[in-house]
Amino acid sequence: MNTRDLLIEIGTEELPPKALANLSAALELSLTEQLQALELSFGNVQRFASPRRLAVLIEGLDEAQEDQEKTRLGPAIRAAFDDPGAPTPAARGFAKSCGVEVDQLSRTKKNGVEKLSFSVNEKGRATQALVPTLIEAALSKLPIPKRMRWGSSRIEFVRPLHWAVVLFGEETIETDILGVRSGHCTRGHRFHNNQDLPLVQPSDYESVLKEQGRVIASFDKRRDLIREQVEQQARMHEAVAIIDEALLDEVTSLVEFPVALTGSFDEAFLAVPQEALILAMKSHQKCFHLADAEGRLLPKFVAISNLESKDPQQVITGNERVIRPRLADAQFFFDTDREKPLITRKDSLGSLVFQDRLGTVLHKCERVSQLSRQVAEQVSADPAHCMRAAELSKCDLLTSMVGEFADLQGLMGSYYAANDGEAPEVAQAIHEQYQPRFAGDDLPASETGAILAVADKLDTMVGLFGIGQPPTGSKDPFALRRSAIGILRILVEKPLELDLKWLIKASVESFPDDLLLADTGDKVFEFILERFRAWYLDEGISSEEFQSVFALRPSRPLDFHRRIQAVHAFAQMPEAQSLAAANKRVANILSKQASAAVPPALSESLLQESAEKTLYAAIIDKESEVAPYVKQGDYQKGLTLLAELKPAIDGFFDEVLVMAEDEAVRDNRLALLAKLQALFLNLADISHLTKS
């Protein structure tokens, strides 16, 4: 079949930069899925996106659908004809619906039943006629954050349209797209060449825009070019370019013809914490900052211009003129905030609501301080440092700097605490209280910071669960899932030997009586333990291995982690599956006897068979051998030793009838199995490791 390239371009006012990449990907996906549904074959697909355009180039697209023979099935033969063989009303009705006589119908067998049928050759539709509908459907499904109308039209889209291109081979498909008639002309750069640029064929699109229109249409190529230019500017100034990937994406969405230029600012601004200066440059001016080899901020920045100026210095000077007041604001905030100690803002936190039913931020700080002290006493940390850090932890929320740059909360508190002469560990903990903020983020480096982070996260979680506002489905406004993972990471990776049930109970008790639901502690415990599942699955732990430990509900996360690692290692052993199956068999036998009276201790004198005596001796031997390793938390060594029970267990099930006729013997054998099960359950419930 003949093929042609198809180009679709939508020209608009400047599109929202943070949505551009998603809009482009969604447009491509919708178009290709529709083509596949229509059984139209095509080759390579390229998407293009810039501030003023979304485009998709589909190579080698079929000119039309293949002709298809479609068969309609009618009534079964036995229902289509009576005994003499005359057509029944069912047969005549089917023939009439097909526009033929009964004798022109065929017979087809389906699922063993012979039926009347009629085949017709359906001619494939021309692609050119299908394209307008495809475009309309694709645009209507775009994930537009907020739609708008323009002029007197009732049409809604992310931004007003100015032009549209639909080119199929060398032929223009004219159609109305959101009130604009499509043609074969794209449009160049708003400043360099803002005029129509005719396209002869779709494959010319990218080169025409680049060479005539001064537009780099490919988002990825433009992104790579910006990165290269920023790094080149850094090398020219013997500096290191610090490229934030999110900022790079945003800048790529703001320009069509990027030109990197380096500006500078007064070195006096470097007295301000560099994080504040960097955030001011990134958020307000979309600039990349430069650092020296040690990572210290240099008084230089790289701005990305959307045009190639004949006088670049004028553009640089303009950027410097605009960025100076932003940095001056940061300096003013910093100087003003330091005029009074951080602690003086504490009482004002009483006017800042944390959550309607959970009280103010001051109430939260008091609860976190109490919990931090209790945790510090458990791990032999300095309770005074932990309480002071909790007391000061939220005071920077009322500073001018954090009021302007919310992302700096915690960080600015640590600067101000250090300025006030607070203990270094207290100042550090204030910064670390929000860590880890996201997957893979650093954990608090200090012990005080780790304790404060756990207490703060747990207080939020207990409070919200306690008033009946846990996460639901995809809604998690307080990021409790992330907080739970953060708590587990800190307790496991620091590591801290803390009991999660004790922690939750201590947190619950810090709230006013009768405020929280009665089952709050249990729900929070289960919720946090469940977060382990996703964590371990990401680390290659199977769901069976996880369930082997989860079934025991160990309340110390560090202990949970050690058991998981032990089970994972055990699962690789050749004896693992046989022992897992045996444990499952034991569990099944004992569960069926749950209501029966099993003796609390088995009687050695009732052991009759050689195999059961061997198993008993092996269990007694392993109990004493494994106990020290269980006490030390060396579960891997413990399971390795228990693997040696395999011959004795196999021999028991091969040679011994558990459900013996003699009731005393039967109960004794059940007690033996209960003893075997308990020995394994000291470490993990490996019955979950069975593959079937």
Selection from 75-79, 98-102, 442-446, 468-472 with the highest mean pLDDT: 442-446
Report the number of distinct structural domains present in the chain.
5
Examine the pLDDT at 454 and tell me if it is beyond 70: yes
**Quick one: 407 and 524 in the same domain?**
yes
Examine the pLDDT at 423 and tell me if it is beyond 60: yes
Percent of the chain with pLDDT over 70: 99
**Quick one: 275 and 180 in the same domain?**
no
CATH number at residue 198: 3.30.70.260
**Quick one: 377 and 512 in the same domain?**
yes
Reading the block at residue 228, the tokens are 């290269």
pLDDT recorded at residue 591: 83
* Cα(491)–Cα(500) distance, integer angstroms: 9
pLDDT recorded at residue 249: 97
Q: For the chain, how big is the Rg over CA atoms in Å?
A: 36
**Quick one: 519 and 650 in the same domain?**
no
Tell me, yes or no, whether 668 lies in a domain: yes
Burial group, residue 472, by CB count within 10 angstroms (0-12, 13-18, 19+): exposed
pLDDT digits (tens, 9 = 90+) for 373-391: 999 999 989 999 999 999 9
Closest CA to 431 of 412, 405, 448: 412
Percent of the chain with pLDDT over 90: 80
Tell me, yes or no, whether 133 lies in a domain: yes
Tell me, yes or no, whether 110 lies in a domain: yes
pLDDT recorded at residue 185: 97
* Cα(142)–Cα(161) distance, integer angstroms: 15
CATH number at residue 408: 1.10.3210
Omega before residue 495 within 30° of 0, cis: yes
pLDDT recorded at residue 602: 85
Confidence category of residue 594, pLDDT binned at 50, 70, 90 = low
Let me know: does 202 contact 167? Beta carbons within 8 Å. Answer: yes
pLDDT recorded at residue 599: 53
- Which tops the pLDDT comparison, 661 or 638? 638
Let me know: does 679 contact 619? Beta carbons within 8 Å. Answer: yes
Examine the pLDDT at 444 and tell me if it is beyond 80: yes
- pTM equals 0.81
What is the spatial order of strands in the sheet that 3-12 belongs to?
Answer: 45-50, 53-62, 3-12, 161-168, 171-172
Q: Are strands 297-305 and 359-360 parallel, antiparallel or unpaired?
A: unpaired
Q: Which of 211, 232, 266 is the last residue of a domain?
A: 211
pLDDT recorded at residue 601: 73
Examine the pLDDT at 557 and tell me if it is beyond 90: yes
Chain centroid to Cα 285, Å, comes to 29
**Quick one: 193 and 83 in the same domain?**
no
**Quick one: 587 and 443 in the same domain?**
no
**Quick one: 35 and 134 in the same domain?**
yes
**Quick one: 182 and 201 in the same domain?**
yes
Q: Which of 211, 232, 255 is the last residue of a domain?
A: 211
pLDDT digits (tens, 9 = 90+) for 39-52: 899 999 999 999 99
CATH number at residue 624: 1.10.730
**Quick one: 43 and 183 in the same domain?**
yes
Tell me, yes or no, whether 557 lies in a domain: no
Q: Give the C-alpha distances (Å, rounded to integers) separating 483 from 287, 298, 447, 476.
A: 32, 35, 18, 11
**Quick one: 494 and 566 in the same domain?**
no
Tell me, yes or no, whether 590 lies in a domain: yes
Burial group, residue 107, by CB count within 10 angstroms (0-12, 13-18, 19+): exposed
**Quick one: 446 and 418 in the same domain?**
yes
Tell me, yes or no, whether 554 lies in a domain: no
Query: Any idea which of 90-99, 487-496, 499-508, 677-686 has the lowest mean pLDDT?
Result: 90-99
What is the domain range of residue 300? 219-337
Q: Which of 89, 122, 155 is the last residue of a domain?
A: 122
Query: Any idea which of 134-148, 198-212, 417-431 has the lowest mean pLDDT?
Result: 134-148
pLDDT recorded at residue 470: 94
pLDDT recorded at residue 600: 61
Examine the pLDDT at 595 and tell me if it is beyond 70: no
**Quick one: 308 and 327 in the same domain?**
yes
pLDDT digits (tens, 9 = 90+) for 83-142: 788 899 998 899 898 888 888 888 888 888 889 888 887 788 899 999 999 999 999 999
Examine the pLDDT at 598 and tell me if it is beyond 60: no
Tell me, yes or no, whether 428 lies in a domain: yes
Tell me, yes or no, whether 552 lies in a domain: no
